[in-house]
Amino acid sequence: MRTYFDCVPCFVNQTLGLVKCANGTECQAQNALKQVLTNLASIDYSSAPPVMAQKIYRTLYQVYGERDFYYHEKQRFNTLALEVLPEIIKKISGAEDVFTEKVKLSIAANIIDFGKNANLTEHDVFRSLDEAMTREIDREKIQNLKNVIDKADNILYLCDNTGEIVFDRLLIESMPLKKITCAVRGKPVINDATLEDAKTSGLIDIVNVIANGSDAPGTVLDDCSPEFRKAFDDADLIIAKGQGNYETLSGIENKRIIFMLLVKCSIVARDIGSPTGMFVIHDKLCN
């Protein structure tokens, strides 16, 4: 997916959120904003939005030093997800189709996205998870997901955010674990999940987990490690969580990619053909 003019305000808002989180000096804040605005003036609109977000992060590293800007918030939402998980498991245990409930919860947890909402609250997450259990979802797409998982020999599952990764683990527990490799970001960016979060969530205890080698909030293949590229090439099914993975991989041809996301952006909504707020399971070969 390419970048649009409407993406620019989002880039500015992301920068402002990061500057506030950095707690630096007024001089640093001014310097960071000037550099980001200069970069935005020469933005490549043919590239995916996460490419620009990656540049913003690298610019802020130059100003503030390399750090995990949202480290404490990431830990907070991981902890929140782990705390509510046992009660949620109880609620869905009697469901007619537990797999479907787990899919909905995994997508609902995609709301934990500081790139879209740096002011996200615990209440926002609780509401999204509660609503997920009463939401309707396209049963044909759920069945298609089950079918392709069953037929695949080698599945690569691309994680997205912290907190969300706890519910990815819950879903993955219902899949054939020996077939699955999960991938997380190679370095901290926004609140995207890294190997540390895979350990915290327990995901690393049930499946093979690799880092993609990149600091982009998506999957920019040219920026990923050889290990990840081999895993991507060898997979006969890729399950990609979140908008960032959709934005960077929706143009990939000749790969079975199923995107699972909560649509949080009007631009993604227009591109994927679903309204904002929608739970989406988008199989490129079936849409």
The CATH number given to whatever domain includes residue 185 is 3.40.50.10880
Domain enclosing residue 40, as ranges: 7-64
Average of per-residue pLDDT across 243-266: 95
Closest CA relative to residue 50, chosen from 219, 197, 211, 163: 219
Let me know whether 56 and 172 are in one domain. Answer: no
Shared domain for 47 and 148, answered yes or no, is no
Q: State the Cα–Cα distance between residues 64 and 48, nearest whole angstrom.
A: 25
Is the confidence at residue 285, as pLDDT, over 80? no
- Helical (H) or strand (E) element with 37: helix 26-41
Q: Give the domain-ending residue among 64, 80, 102.
A: 64
Q: Beta partners for 155?
A: 180, 237
Is residue 95 predicted with pLDDT exceeding 90? no
Number of domains in the chain: 2
Q: Which of 36, 64, 92 is the last residue of a domain?
A: 64
Question: Binning pLDDT at 50, 70 and 90, where does residue 254 land?
Answer: confident
Considering the domain boundaries, does residue 1 fall inside one?
no
pLDDT at 26 over 70: yes
pLDDT of residue 207: 98
Residue 287 has pLDDT above 60, yes or no: no
* pLDDT tens-place string over residues 44-91: 999 999 999 999 999 999 999 988 999 999 999 999 999 999 999 999
Q: Are 276 and 134 found together in one domain? A: yes
Alpha carbons 156 and 17: distance in angstroms, whole number: 32
Cβ within 8 Å of residue 28, ≥6 positions away? 19, 22, 63, 64
Claim to verify: residue 44 and residue 127 sit in the same structural domain: no
Give the model confidence (pLDDT) of 138-182 as tens digits.
Answer: 999 999 999 999 999 999 999 999 999 999 999 999 999 999 999
Please check whether residue 58 is in contact with residue 190, taking contact to mean a CB–CB distance below 8 angstroms: no
Whether residue 100 is found in the same domain as residue 41: no
The span from the CA of 212 to the CA of 139, in Å, is 32
Contact (CB, 8 A) for 159 and 201: no
Q: Is 222 in the same domain as 161?
A: yes
User: Are 58 and 96 in the same domain?
Assistant: no
